[in-house]
Amino acid sequence: MSVKIKVGMTVLVSSGPNLSLQREMEVDAYDSIEATIKAGATDVKIGLQPGELKEIQLLLVTADPYDSKVTYTVDDGAAAAAPASSAVALDQPHLLLGGGAVGLLGKAPKALHFGNTTAKDVTVRVLVGRKATA
């Protein structure tokens, strides 16, 4: 049984273009996770459903509040952990749609490791949509 995910976005540039998109994606499974990353945390692991990189069709990572001092790294389950220098700042929503965009990760995300060097707790949400077979 497939699951439909609808994605909508509008980008308005003052005195410029107005771009809008509506997409509907079909996936076989999804994972929705909400977690609190405590102030000062350096490595909070959020496990994601298993799958090959080519199966993942959607990855959305959001935070409340957003801050460049809230970061995450992608963990593909390999023995070596990702270096801190590869951490991505979660200063805005991160949305990857389709195999091409998700492929930019370079590896299948089995888990995300979050850090929060702010003085306040941050709530993160992760949504992954994937095909059961590539």
Specify the pTM: 0.90
- The DSSP-derived string for the chain is --EEEEEEEEEE-TTS-EEEEEEEEEESEEEEEEEEE-TT-S-EEEE-----GGGEEEEEEEEES--TTEEEEEE-S-SSPPPGGG-EE-SS-EEEEHHHHHGGGSS--SEEEEEE-SSS-EEEEEEEEE-S--
Q: Where are the domains of the chain?
A: 29-130
CATH 3.90.25, domain 29-130, yes or no: no
In tens digits, the chain (134 residues) has pLDDT values of 799 999 999 999 999 999 999 999 999 999 999 999 999 999 999 998 778 889 999 999 999 999 999 999 999 887 565 555 689 999 999 999 999 999 998 888 899 999 999 999 999 999 999 998 75
